[in-house]
Amino acid sequence: MSTPIASAETSAEKLQQIDHIRMAVRQLCSKFGEEYWLDMDRTLGYPTDFVQELTKAGFLGVLIPEQYGGSGLGVLEAAAVMEEVCRSGAHAGVCHAQMYVMGSVLRHGTDDQKAAYLPKIANGELRLQSFGVTEPTTGSNTTSLKTVAKRDGDEYVINGQKVWISRIEHSDLMVLLARTMDRDKVTKKTDGLSAFIIDVKAAEGNGLEIRPIESMINHHSCELFFDDLRIPAENLLGQEGKGFKVILDGMNAERILIAAECVGDGRYFIEKATDYAKERVVFDRPIGQNQGVQFPIARAYTQVEAASLMVEKAANLFDSGLPCGAEANMAKMLASEASWQAGDTCMQTHGGFAFAKEYHIERKFRETRLYQIAPISTNLILSFVAEHVLDMPRSY
């Protein structure tokens, strides 16, 4: 597949606008220092005040069109926001989904749904930052998911289970993917799934049970149990049976934004490693004078810069309305590997001090590791590229 070059380039005017966005985000993030994030990590807290400030400043509504109260900008600008958040030492995973889950409503919702939800998402009155897709028994094999939504008059009745659903306790709404037709009755395996808007607060205790998962990072992920949860039929998002398409569009944006977060993490690690290599003196000279210390940092820098170009390319394609599945996936893979490499290098550069929580590196190291697994694992990306770009035989 060849990509039109013009659409993958960013104009000088746009770059200038993005620079302004970056500066403003940096300024906001500087009010929430690394001690703040360490405290959140230690106490498993949720950074409500940080998220509120980001919302108030309009940064989480970047992708919402102006007519619905957002900034009407693109994924390229949104990526700059997320990159800067991560570069500051913050954990963007606490709120990134507020930016992109709404894409399912924007692109597939009815006029009434858009009018009801988007302005309130833009001003923060409603938090739509949960995507309910993954299930414990089917994992990466999304199209075989088993949670069922059965039509009953003016309602759907939902039964099943989800796992690792992030931020649900800090969301008012969730976009849920459930089966509305048995898998053996559909001709295309992506058919028979439908997307729904779930009012989380109304559902909890009335057919939805939420159980937090204790995990390696403070990502607020939960298990969900649906037991005859009844929702209004009007909460169907897009066409019944075509829900896979509804979430797929949102997934490309998610992959690009998470890739941008990894670039931010990578830059954070490289800055820390470089500063420390220059100031730490052992054997009567800065450790950064040794090529054995310099080279891994220079390599990590090179890898992050390369990944950043793929993020930009994918974002420009997305914003031009062009196919970007391959680029979004490749950006996510390259950036998550680059940030991990940068994190590992930063750990090594700091020696024993890397393990001290007060240096903040080990927290970011744990956080950035997630992105080789979620929202899609590296093997699944390689498989996508092999099959859909390189036209090799299907492996599953």
Ligand X SMILES: Cc1cc2nc3c(=O)[nH]c(=O)nc-3n(C[C@H](O)[C@H](O)[C@H](O)COP(=O)(O)OP(=O)(O)OC[C@H]3O[C@@H](n4cnc5c(N)ncnc54)[C@H](O)[C@@H]3O)c2cc1C
Q: In this chain, which stretch among 14-22, 262-270, 307-315, 376-384 interacts with ligand X, using CB under 6 A?
A: 376-384
Q: Compute the chain's Rg from CA coordinates.
A: 21
How far is Cα 334 from Cα 305, in angstroms, rounded to an integer?
10
How many residues make contact with ligand X (CB under 6 A)? 22
Q: Minimum distance between the CB of residue 234 and ligand X, rounded to whole angstroms?
A: 23
SS3 320: coil
Closest residue by Cα to residue 105 from 89, 126, 84: 126
SS3 283: coil
Per rule CB under 6 A, is residue 283 in the interface with ligand X? Answer: no
SS3 304: helix
How far is Cα 120 from Cα 55, in angstroms, rounded to an integer?
11
| Residue in 52, 110, 302, 379 binding ligand X, rule: CB under 6 A | 379
Q: Is 56 or 201 the residue whose CB approaches ligand X more closely?
A: 201
| Residue in 139, 207, 241, 286 binding ligand X, rule: CB under 6 A | 139
Q: Minimum distance between the CB of residue 356 and ligand X, rounded to whole angstroms?
A: 24
Per rule CB under 6 A, is residue 373 in the interface with ligand X? Answer: yes
SS3 297: helix
Per rule CB under 6 A, is residue 374 in the interface with ligand X? Answer: yes
What length is written for the chain?
A: 396
Per rule CB under 6 A, is residue 165 in the interface with ligand X? Answer: yes
Q: What is the DSSP letter of 284?
A: T
Per rule CB under 6 A, is residue 161 in the interface with ligand X? Answer: no
Per rule CB under 6 A, is residue 210 in the interface with ligand X? Answer: no
Q: In this chain, which stretch among 6-14, 70-78, 111-119, 160-168 interacts with ligand X, using CB under 6 A?
A: 160-168
Closest residue by Cα to residue 234 from 103, 68, 112, 370: 112
Angle at CA 278, nearest 5°, toward 275 and 279? Answer: 90
Q: Evaluate whether 28 touches 50 at the Cβ level (below 8 Å).
A: no
Quote the tokens at residue 387: 């099959």
Per rule CB under 6 A, is residue 100 in the interface with ligand X? Answer: no
| Residue in 133, 287, 293, 335 binding ligand X, rule: CB under 6 A | 133
| Residue in 148, 207, 377, 385 binding ligand X, rule: CB under 6 A | 377
Angle between helices 243-279 and 325-350 (to 10 degrees): 30
| Residue in 50, 131, 359, 371 binding ligand X, rule: CB under 6 A | 131
Q: Minimum distance between the CB of residue 382 and ligand X, rounded to whole angstroms?
A: 8
Q: Is 146 or 299 the residue whose CB approaches ligand X more closely?
A: 146
Place of tokens 């028979």: 192
Interacting residues toward ligand X by CB under 6 A? 131-134, 139-140, 164-166, 215, 219, 221, 370, 373-377, 379-380, 383, 396
